[in-house]
Amino acid sequence: MTVTSTLKDRIENTELLAKVVPVEEAVKHVVHGNTVAISGFTKSGEPKTFLPALAWHFSQTAPDARITLLSGASLSEDVEGPMAPFIAKRGPYMSSPASRRRIHAGEMDFTDVHLSAFARNLMYGFYGDIDVAVVEVSRIRKNGSVVLTSSVGISAEALARAKKIVLEVNTSGPDYTGFHDIVLPAVHPHVGWPLPLVNVRDRIGNPYVELDLSKVVAVVESRTPDHPVPFKAADDTAKRIAEHVIDFLMRCREQYQWGKRLPPIQSGVGNVANAIISQLYDSPFQKIRFWTEVFQDGMLRYVEDDAKFEYASATAVSFSSEGRQRFLDMFERSKDRLVLRPMWLSNSPEIISRLFVIAMNTPIEVDIYGHVNSTHIDGSRIVNGLGGSGDFFRNAYLSIVHTPSTRKLRDGRTVSCVMPYVRHIDHTEHDIKCVVTEQGYALNMDIRSPKRRAQDIIDRCAHPYFRPLLHAYLDMAGPGDEPRATDMKVLQGWWADYDAATRAFPQNG
Amino acid sequence: MTVTSTLKDRIENTELLAKVVPVEEAVKHVVHGNTVAISGFTKSGEPKTFLPALAWHFSQTAPDARITLLSGASLSEDVEGPMAPFIAKRGPYMSSPASRRRIHAGEMDFTDVHLSAFARNLMYGFYGDIDVAVVEVSRIRKNGSVVLTSSVGISAEALARAKKIVLEVNTSGPDYTGFHDIVLPAVHPHVGWPLPLVNVRDRIGNPYVELDLSKVVAVVESRTPDHPVPFKAADDTAKRIAEHVIDFLMRCREQYQWGKRLPPIQSGVGNVANAIISQLYDSPFQKIRFWTEVFQDGMLRYVEDDAKFEYASATAVSFSSEGRQRFLDMFERSKDRLVLRPMWLSNSPEIISRLFVIAMNTPIEVDIYGHVNSTHIDGSRIVNGLGGSGDFFRNAYLSIVHTPSTRKLRDGRTVSCVMPYVRHIDHTEHDIKCVVTEQGYALNMDIRSPKRRAQDIIDRCAHPYFRPLLHAYLDMAGPGDEPRATDMKVLQGWWADYDAATRAFPQNG
């Protein structure tokens, strides 16, 4: 095959250069029943050329083909959408409407696993053999080892465990050499070792991934840049939530004698997270560090300010179109201030605990005791998955769950995001130290009964409109340190009252 | 005060020898409103003389006094029972009927925290100042540092953080010098360090606890040995559960190529745990290691067998009367095969994950998706607390929750321990890899929808008598990947049917 000079520049290994094929050829290495592990995390670094081509190939030649697809985290809909009909099993995270529909309908098996555990389970062999790894790379080095692109996710594990490897060399993006810190987790019966990482900026692995060249069955070129992820600007509610978060951090700073040193921050995605990152920039904290999953638009201004910012560690960068351009404009500067690691490491309990990370994530809803539903609407239908929220909440120095106190549904109802109980629990009361809404924040850090905590969460975090209903639940729930209503008739009445209230929520509320 | 020669032998430091006082004097250092942190874990190493004397002192002089009492884990009822009326706040674990009554009645605030997190939170200052530490010791060394007794728990943290220290020198027990491995957790803004521990037998700290002598306000003698903990023999159900656990381990051994090397075992307390430890002894596994919370009766035979056993690490020993005698008979031998560590270390996510620990614990009940209730009957009333179950389940290489499929209540009903949903969740589906009952075991290790997993848990683990009811729930729960019934009227019907079934459970079932 004729190889473009752009591509040739990115492939320094002659053996692998000889394996360049059109993507239409490469996709034939994946057949019905295969388990395919791919690069990609929050729509970054996914095999953007291979997967749509594979979907087309199946649709033309094997419409009944079904595979198991394992990724780091979410893929863009341009990539996952066409593949969805051919995915029988999927893990550990997705945000694809096409996959979601099939998962809810029972046509696709989805397993929701802590991201750090997923990568290790994959290495342990719990998900069986990996037939094919498809990994986007920036560059193939002289000895055949590869430099990844805008995410790491499970790429290193996929390359280590797969029987066949397809490399997708992305020539549209920059060469990410120098951004990565790659280490594989130990596997029993090998001895596990302490991770020699004590600062966010420490690097403990290689900037490339080594692989067995004989396993590479195809190399393809991709000229598609990462699909942009729209930046969600903060609304008033998000801004008020962010103010409460900063208040809480300032209070902790005093109480626990942090001095100027804010512990490293993990922050999720969405408009509340963006508001927090924005207000944190204007806070008195200096030399801020991020130990997080995804480096996003809101963090770019930090890179420009050496007084405000020290270092960031993530498993992916994920930008809007504008953010991406800004990132490319200061690509070299970023390389000295940002490191991308495998997700088992970015989400490692060992490191999150050691670095005293402050974790912040948005749930679907919380309950009055501090239990958190991050994944399932009405308990039954998954949205995206829990991702790394459990890795961070559980092991954080401080764990903050932040949500608007209410959410307006498409059917016109306005529901409370603080409920008497939630129908799916991903994070228990034992893992949450602070609940924040635009109304205020309530703590779970003291020696205090769950019942007292509940009164506090209702009075400080719930929307005033819903507070009487929540107190009514607590009153009828009976005795105990953590009262839970069990009389089904009474409960039925409560839900009827609640449902009526969601319909009568004042429009200016 | 006249000091017995037995006591004098145990106190090598003259400054502290001069601080020996009758316990009736020592208790005066604790006053209303104090936070008191004590030694003690599963009824071992608690201040058995001080606490009952303090209770007597309060009852005579300050009946309205209330304190906050923090321990490692459970105390014996002889110790906690008399104190219960004077405890306003309690954490992080208890098994005292007297405390439990007050907690359920809202008279005592109890906070249920992962044991590893509790010890760190205490060091971080989240529970405020520690006014008095009361710690049982074997011996006071020449420089005033102390050797603990049969448990470590939070003793080192208590001694490090307390403003005043009372040492209770137990002269009834042996001198435990050489059993302990003491390290304190790092506290922000100090830098956290990797724990240099890669084998169960590695010791990374000191065999004693250093302390500030000027803080010691009293030294008292105790002649009371640890109160015995009755050994629960395995019944037929427990034996069948244990058989399934061993089956599962043998299957994993094949599938994941362990060879002869069984990963270290964490095992909870109770008759099922005892049955497992017993059958494990008769399994083909050799050189078994325990990385667990409590070293118990069932593990004693291992110490006698160097082919079967390599090493055990725990935070406490806890024995029946017979077990204790047997332990004392091979005290020196045990010292080379058993190490006791602070509970933040015995339960450290970093170490549990690194050592590939296999975790096994008994819950109150599980649900069809694998969520686990470990703490609250009917969701409302705490039993003991979650202890270290979350530390181990979450970070384990394999996490096994084992329970009889049914439980007979005092009121004559027989309830299912596999439920459609549980009213309190301590461990989520994301943290459980294997559910075991006497009926069989079901896995949560593969890429599989929660709904399929539920069908498996019902068919393999639930009691056959309750299976139709559980399937009926799943059928009526509607669509979704993890269906949860939300129609309160229908749910009310299900619970009525279930309640009737619990009353009609066949007596020979």
Contact of B374 with chain A, judged by CB distance below 8 Å, is answered with no
**A103–chain B nearest CA distance, Å:** 6
Q: Where are the beta strands (DSSP E) in B334-397?
A: 338-340, 358-361, 365-367, 372-373, 376-377, 381-382
Of A350, A425, A448, the CB nearest to B425: A425
Place of tokens 């459609």: B420
pLDDT at B509 over 70: no
A304 an active-site residue? no
Contact of A395 with chain B, judged by CB distance below 8 Å, is answered with yes
Domains, chain A, with CATH or none: 5-222 (3.40.1080.10), 236-466 (3.40.1080.20)
Between chain A and chain B, the number of residue pairs with CB atoms below 8 A apart is: 253
- Put simply, the answer to whether B104 touches A479 (Cβ < 8 Å) is yes
Pairing of strands A109-110, A87-91: parallel
| 3-state DSSP assignment of residue B163 | strand
| DSSP state, residue B260 | T
CA angle A247, A251, A257 (to 5 degrees): 140
Residues 6+ apart with CB under 8 A from B325: none
| Structure tokens belonging to residue B411 | 């009121």
Neighboring chain A residues of B381 at a CB cutoff of 8 Å: 479-482
Of B110, B390, B492, the CB nearest to A449: B110
Place of tokens 């799943």: B474
| DSSP state, residue A226 | P
| Structure tokens belonging to residue B217 | 């306000």
Q: Cβ distance A189 to A151 under 8 Å?
A: no
Question: Per residue in B175-219, pLDDT tens?
Answer: 999 999 999 999 999 999 999 999 999 999 999 999 999 999 999
Question: Per residue in B43-74, pLDDT tens?
Answer: 999 999 999 999 999 999 999 999 999 999 99
Dist. CA A70–CA A52, nearest whole Å: 16
Q: For residues A287-301, b (16+ Cβ closer than 10 Å) or e, as one string?
A: ebbbbbbbbbbbbbe
Based on DSSP, count helices (H) and strands (E) in chain A, helices before strands: 19, 25
- Put simply, the answer to whether B114 touches A430 (Cβ < 8 Å) is yes
Dist. CA B67–CA A404, nearest whole Å: 37
Dist. CA B47–CA A184, nearest whole Å: 46
Spot the catalytic one: B157, B293, B310, B365: B293
Q: Cβ distance A274 to A297 under 8 Å?
A: yes
Beta bridge partners of A435: A401, A442
Q: Cβ distance B229 to B324 under 8 Å?
A: no
Q: How far is CA A153 from CA A79, A150, A157, A218, in A?
A: 16, 10, 9, 21
**B329–chain A nearest CA distance, Å:** 34
- In the stretch 80-119 of chain A, residues with CB closer than 8 A to chain B read 89-91, 103-106, 108-114, 117
Dist. CA A69–CA B362, nearest whole Å: 34
**Residue of chain A nearest B93, judged by CA positions:** A447
Q: Cβ distance B135 to B210 under 8 Å?
A: no
Residue A177 CB burial class (10 angstroms; 0-12, 13-18, ≥19): middle
CA-based nearest residue to A226, from A320, A293, A342: A320
**Residue of chain A nearest B70, judged by CA positions:** A447
* pLDDT value of position B181: 98
**Residue B257: Cβ within 10 Å count:** 12
Q: For residues B284-299, b (16+ Cβ closer than 10 Å) or e, as one string?
A: ebeebbbbbbbbbbbb
- In the stretch 116-155 of chain B, residues with CB closer than 8 A to chain A read 117, 120-121, 124-128
- Mutation for A interface: B447, B487, B492, most A CBs within 10 A: B447
Dist. CA A301–CA A297, nearest whole Å: 8
Residue B179 CB burial class (10 angstroms; 0-12, 13-18, ≥19): buried
Contact of A172 with chain B, judged by CB distance below 8 Å, is answered with no
* pLDDT value of position B343: 98
Dist. CA A73–CA B441, nearest whole Å: 30
- Put simply, the answer to whether A381 touches B479 (Cβ < 8 Å) is yes
- Put simply, the answer to whether B261 touches A103 (Cβ < 8 Å) is no
**A185–chain B nearest CA distance, Å:** 9
Question: Per residue in B429-451, pLDDT tens?
Answer: 999 999 999 999 999 999 999 99
- Put simply, the answer to whether A126 touches B261 (Cβ < 8 Å) is no
Dist. CA B78–CA B110, nearest whole Å: 20
Contact of A66 with chain B, judged by CB distance below 8 Å, is answered with no
The interface pTM score, or ipTM, of the predicted complex is 0.97
Question: Per residue in B275-328, pLDDT tens?
Answer: 999 999 999 999 999 999 999 999 999 999 999 999 999 999 999 999 999 999
Q: How far is CA A128 from CA A424, B83, B255, B446, in A?
A: 28, 54, 9, 8
Residue B189 CB burial class (10 angstroms; 0-12, 13-18, ≥19): middle
CA-based nearest residue to A354, from B116, B290, B389: B116
Average pLDDT over residues B362-390: 97
CA-based nearest residue to B205, from B193, B190, B215: B193
Average pLDDT over residues B145-165: 98
Do you find a cis peptide bond into B92, omega within 30 degrees of 0?
Answer: yes
Residues 6+ apart with CB under 8 A from A479: B104, B105, B106, B380, B381
pLDDT tens over chain A, length 509 residues: 789 999 999 999 999 999 999 999 999 999 999 999 999 999 999 999 999 999 999 999 999 999 999 999 999 999 999 999 999 999 999 999 999 999 999 999 999 999 999 999 999 999 999 999 999 999 999 999 999 999 999 999 999 999 999 999 999 999 999 999 999 999 999 999 999 999 999 999 999 999 999 999 999 999 999 999 998 888 999 999 999 999 999 999 999 999 888 999 999 888 999 999 999 999 999 999 999 999 999 999 999 999 999 999 999 999 999 999 999 999 999 999 999 999 999 999 999 999 999 999 999 999 999 999 999 999 999 999 999 999 999 999 999 999 999 999 999 999 999 999 999 999 999 999 999 999 999 999 999 999 999 999 999 999 999 999 999 999 999 999 999 999 999 999 999 999 999 999 998 75
**B84–chain A nearest CA distance, Å:** 16
Pairing of strands A372-373, A365-367: antiparallel
pLDDT at B454 over 90: yes
* pLDDT value of position A377: 93
Q: Which amino acid is at A10?
A: R
- What is chain B's mean pLDDT, rounded? 97
Pairing of strands B434-437, B440-443: antiparallel
| 3-state DSSP assignment of residue B362 | coil
Neighboring chain B residues of A125 at a CB cutoff of 8 Å: 255-256
Q: Which region among A396-405, B2-11, B59-68, B159-168 has the lowest average model confidence (pLDDT)?
A: B2-11
| Structure tokens belonging to residue B70 | 């923090």
- Put simply, the answer to whether A106 touches B481 (Cβ < 8 Å) is yes
**A428–chain B nearest CA distance, Å:** 6
Contact of B285 with chain A, judged by CB distance below 8 Å, is answered with no
Q: Cβ distance B447 to B382 under 8 Å?
A: no
**B27–chain A nearest CA distance, Å:** 23
Query: Torsion-angle region of residue A383: left (phi > 0), alpha (psi -120 to 50) or beta?
Result: alpha
Segment (H or E) for A394: helix A389-395
**Distance spanning both ends of chain B, measured CA to CA:** 64
Based on DSSP, count helices (H) and strands (E) in chain B, helices before strands: 19, 25
- In the stretch 419-438 of chain B, residues with CB closer than 8 A to chain A read 421, 423-431
Neighboring chain A residues of B428 at a CB cutoff of 8 Å: 390, 425-428
Residues 6+ apart with CB under 8 A from A324: A225, A226, A228
Q: How far is CA A414 from CA A406, A468, B190, B479, in A?
A: 6, 16, 46, 23
Q: With helix as H, strand as E and coil as C, how does B383-398 read?
A: CCCCCCHHHHHHHCCE
